[in-house]
Structure formats: C-alpha cells, structure tokens
Amino acid sequence: MTLLPLTWTLGYAGLTALALAMKRHHEAVLGAKASEARLRGFRVLGWALLAAMTAGCLAIWPTALALWMALGMVAFAGLPLVFLLPYRPRLAGGLAVGLPVVGLVVGWVLG
C-alpha cells in the first residue's frame, strides 16, 4: 500500500491537535472551555501525530528528502486547516478524526 495519503492525513490530525491545544481554537472547535490538562493533552497528542507523520515520510522517501518532505507536509496539511478553521471549525475538528481512516483506506486501495 502507499503511505502518502495516510502520512498527509496524520499531519492534518497532528496540526489540528496542536490547534486544539490553544484556548481560542479549542473553544471554537469543541465549543467548551478547556482545562489546562486538556490543552496539554492535545499538545502531546499533536506532537505525537506529527512524529508519526515524519515516520511515514521516512518510510516513503530516502532520509534527507523525507525530512524535507515532513516540513512540506506541515504546509500541505496546515493550509487547508487554517482556511477551514474560521469557516467551519467543527468540520475541521471532525476531519482530523475521519481523514486518517480515509487516508488508510485510500492508500490501501491504491496499492
């Protein structure tokens, strides 16, 4: 299977989690006040997902290019996120959960 779709969606999920670790976006997306512990939880989750995304890049490309593309993935995943957040915050949050599943399936179908 090809890992590219999954890798990109993991980047999206990771950045969304990092956004949710910020008070303003947390309230906009989840509609609830955030506790400090929760914010910290999202921060850890976000970095963990970005680490998984980097691992995906390393599996796809040779090392030097992979690290470079991991930075690129932040842009490719971040841009849809930042332009979706102000318009459809709930959708942006939901996609973070749904997209990795879709990415996994698409990658598997594409072989």
The contact set with other proteins (CB under 8 A) reads 2, 4, 15, 18-19, 22, 24-25, 61-62, 64-65, 68-69, 71-72, 74-76, 78-79, 81-83, 85-88, 91
- Which run of H or of E encompasses 5? helix 4-20
- Closest contact distance (angstroms) between CB of 26 and other proteins is 11
- Closest contact distance (angstroms) between CB of 72 and other proteins is 6
- Closest contact distance (angstroms) between CB of 52 and other proteins is 18
Cα-Cα-Cα-Cα dihedral sign, residues 83, 77, 39, 31: positive
> Judged by CB, which is closer to other proteins: 85, or 100?
85
Cα-based torsion angle of the residue sequence 94, 97, 93, 21 in order, rounded to the nearest 10 degrees = 160
> Judged by CB, which is closer to other proteins: 22, or 104?
22
Exposed e or buried b per residue across 34-68, where buried means at least 16 C-beta atoms within 10 angstroms of its C-beta: beeeeeeebeebbeebbebbbebbbeeeeeeebee
- Closest contact distance (angstroms) between CB of 13 and other proteins is 14
Q: Residue 105: what residue type?
A: V
